């Protein structure tokens, strides 16, 4: 059986204009497309620049805050050192002033503090058989009548012995009784004050 060849006939007439086919872009269309592309490129570039600027600003701000934090820590440390030094100096000044005042009080009335200690002993040792008070020899004449008067007013009925000692500083004294005694020495008091001040300052770091 033989097949007869036939020509292929297109259904489309290429000679007629096709409304579905795109027509060539004109100069105005090309210009508009170029303008749109340039606008999009400009916006993209501007947004990228803004993001970069924001990132750089944040980086600089973080660096600045870090530097400020370091400076604040340094200032706080320095202030702590200044405060410690000022505290130490204030304590030294206060102690020096107190010592000077104490020295002036002793020079003005060397028996004042001794009388306070003696009166306290009389009050607590009413039944003691005898009480010996040792004081600076230059204070003996002024101290004897004053101590005897204190003993009478305190109700002390034992034997009162007042001795002048050349090696006892003015303002110091030693009081002795049968089974005890007490000593007042400014040098020992000063040493104890110095020790307490050092302990206090050491505790503050």
How far the first Cα of the chain sits from its last, in Å, is 121
The pTM (predicted TM-score) of the whole model is 0.49
The answer to whether residue 197 is domain-embedded is yes
pLDDT digits over 117-156, tens only?
A: 888 888 888 778 889 999 999 989 998 999 999 888 888 8
Are 151 and 85 in a shared domain?
no
The answer to whether residue 120 is domain-embedded is yes
Are 97 and 139 in a shared domain?
no
Query: Average per-residue pLDDT in the chain?
Result: 76
Are 127 and 153 in a shared domain?
yes
Are 94 and 136 in a shared domain?
no
The answer to whether residue 19 is domain-embedded is no
The answer to whether residue 178 is domain-embedded is yes
Are 35 and 89 in a shared domain?
yes
Are 95 and 114 in a shared domain?
no
List, in sequence order, every residue forming a beta bridge with 183; answer none if it has no partner: 174
Supply the pLDDT for residue 162: 92
- Read off the tokens for 15: 């000679």
* CATH code, domain carrying 135: 3.30.2320.30
DSSP symbol at 5: P
Are 75 and 143 in a shared domain?
no
pLDDT digits over 157-188, tens only?
A: 889 999 999 998 888 899 998 888 888 887 77
pLDDT digits over 96-108, tens only?
A: 666 665 566 556 7
- Provide the residue range defining the domain that includes 41: 28-108
Residue 156, helix vs strand vs coil: coil
pLDDT band at 7 (very low <50, low <70, confident <90, very high): low
């Amino acid at each position: 059986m033989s097949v007869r060849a036939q020509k292929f006939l297109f259904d489309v007439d290429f000679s007629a204009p096709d409304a579905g086919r795109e027509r060539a872009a004109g100069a105005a269309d090309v210009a508009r497309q170029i303008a749109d592309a340039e606008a999009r490129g400009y916006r993209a570039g501007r947004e990228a620049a803004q993001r970069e600027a924001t990132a750089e600003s944040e980086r600089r701000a973080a660096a600045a805050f870090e530097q400020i934090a370091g400076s604040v820590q340094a200032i706080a440390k320095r202030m702590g050192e200044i405060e410690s030094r000022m505290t130490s100096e204030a304590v030294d000044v206060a102690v020096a002033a107190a010592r000077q005042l104490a020295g002036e009080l002793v020079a003005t009335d060397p028996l004042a503090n001794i009388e306070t200690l003696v009166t306290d002993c009389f009050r607590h040792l009413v039944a003691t058989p005898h009480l010996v008070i040792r004081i600076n020899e230059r204070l003996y004449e002024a101290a004897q009548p004053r101590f005897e008067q204190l003993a009478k007013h305190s109700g002390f009925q034992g034997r009162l012995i007042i001795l002048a000692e050349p090696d006892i500083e003015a303002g110091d004294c030693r009081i002795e009784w049968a089974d005890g005694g007490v000593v007042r020495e400014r040098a020992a008091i000063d040493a104890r004050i110095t020790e307490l001040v050092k302990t206090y300052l050491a505790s503050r770091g």
